[in-house]
Structure formats: C-alpha cells, structure tokens
Amino acid sequence: MYGEYMSDADSKVNKELQKRMKEFKAALKNEAQKQEFLDNLPLLIRIEVFLPSTNPEEYVNGLYLYMGDAEGIVNAEYYFQDKDEVKICSLSGNELEVVKELFKDEFDAEME
C-alpha cells in the first residue's frame, strides 16, 4: 500500500487516515476538545451474529445488526459465505421487523 505501488484510492485513504489520526491525537491532549469531539460523534454499533451452520467447512452465515445511540436495532444485513465468495443483503420491511423483535431483548442495554 505504500510507495510507488500505492494507487490513487489508497493514497486518498492514507491521507484521510493521517488527517483523522492528527484530529484524534489533538483530542487526547485537550479534555474539552475530546469531550466536544465525542459529544458530536454519531454512534452506530455493528454487532455480528454467527448463525449455526450444518456444514461450517462449506459455508457460514450470520447477521450484522446495526444499533443506534438509543433506538436499538436500526438496520440489519444477512451474510452468506462459502469457499468462493461472500454475499450480503440488507433486510427491510417484515424481515427487518422479525430480526428486531427476535433480538431486541438481547441488546437492550442503554448506551451512554
């Protein structure tokens, strides 16, 4: 990823990472700046749920659950991975509601 072999996309990512690291380090040096940064940061937590597989050597599958600050599960995706590839599909409508209902009590701790 470094040196003459870095693509334009890699270079942009590296520059943005370095910019963010400077921002993080500055926040660590100043408690007021750190608190302001954290207070204005939207929080979305991704939890991965590994579903049991009858043949884990052939495939694995699971869910990505996305949780907001206070509203619980706000989105979900199903993934399926076999030896060749990974497929991910978003859940919506009734599928999303079923997942929310099933897992709502597992992750009901309020985040502060």
**Could you give the CA distance from residue 78 to residue 89 in angstroms, rounded to a whole number?**
5
Task: Give the pLDDT confidence score for residue 64 in this predicted structure.
Answer: 97
pTM: 0.67
Sites in the chain below the pLDDT cut of 50? 1, 110-112
Q: What pLDDT is attached to residue 40?
A: 86
Nearest to 103 by CA among 54, 56, 59, 66: 66
Q: What is the model's pLDDT at position 1?
A: 44
The token pair that represents 28 in the structure block: 């660590």
Given this model, what pLDDT does residue 4 score?
55
Q: How far apart, in whole angstroms, are the C-alpha atoms of residue 48 and residue 64?
A: 5
